[in-house]
Amino acid sequence: MTPALQFDPIAEARRQWTSRWGDAVGPSMSAVTSIMRAQQILMTRLNELLKPYDLTFPRYEALMLLFLSRRGSLPLGKMGVRLQVHRTSVTNIVDQLERSGYVQRVPHDVDRRTVLASITAEGRRVAEASTRELNAASFGTAPLEADDLEALSAVLLRLRLEAGDFAV
C-alpha cells in the first residue's frame, strides 16, 4: 500500500486549477477527480476481497450476470451490452472465468453462430460465497452509511440519465 500523503492532492489540484481557470471550473474538476479516486479505492478493496475466489470485480460482475440469469447462460454479445463493456473485454473475462472452472462456453441451441457463456456448479458456489463476502464488507464502502450511499447513487443517476446510460 502506498503511504498516505501529508496533504489532499485533489484539494491542491483544485486550488491550482481555480487559480488558473477561475472558481467556476474548480467544483467540476474536483468532483471528477474525487469520483475517479474513489473508483480506484473501491476497485482495490473489492479485488482484495475477491482474490481468494480467483476473481476480480469485472469477473465477479460477469459471473453474477450469469448466476442471476434465468438459464444461467447468455450470449457473449448480450453480456457485453449488459455489462456495458466492449466485446473483447467480455471475451477476456469469460476466458478467465473458464480457466477458473466457473464458466464454460457452449453452442447456442438454435443459432449456430452464437456462443453462450454458461455458469458451472463451481461458478454458482463461488458466486454465492463471494457475494456473502462482499455483502459482509458492504462492498468496500466504509465509512459511508446507507443514507450517504443512497444520496450518492441518486446524484450519479442524474448524470447517467443525461448521458443516455439506459432508457427510462
What's the fold here for domain 54-132? Arc Repressor Mutant, subunit A (1.10.10)
Tell me the domain boundaries of the chain. 54-132
Q: Read off the pLDDT of residues 67-107 as tens digits, 9 standing for 90 and up.
A: 999 999 999 999 999 999 998 999 999 999 999 999 999 98
Predicted pLDDT of residue 1? 66
pTM: 0.90
Predicted pLDDT of residue 114? 83
HEC letters along the chain:
CCCCCCCCHHHHHHHHHHHHHCCCCHHHHHHHHHHHHHHHHHHHHHHHHHHHHCCCHHHHHHHHHHHHCCCCEEEHHHHHHHHCCCHHHHHHHHHHHHHCCCEEEEECCCCCCCEEEEECHHHHHHHHHHHHHHHHCHHHCCCCCHHHHHHHHHHHHHHHHHCCCCCC
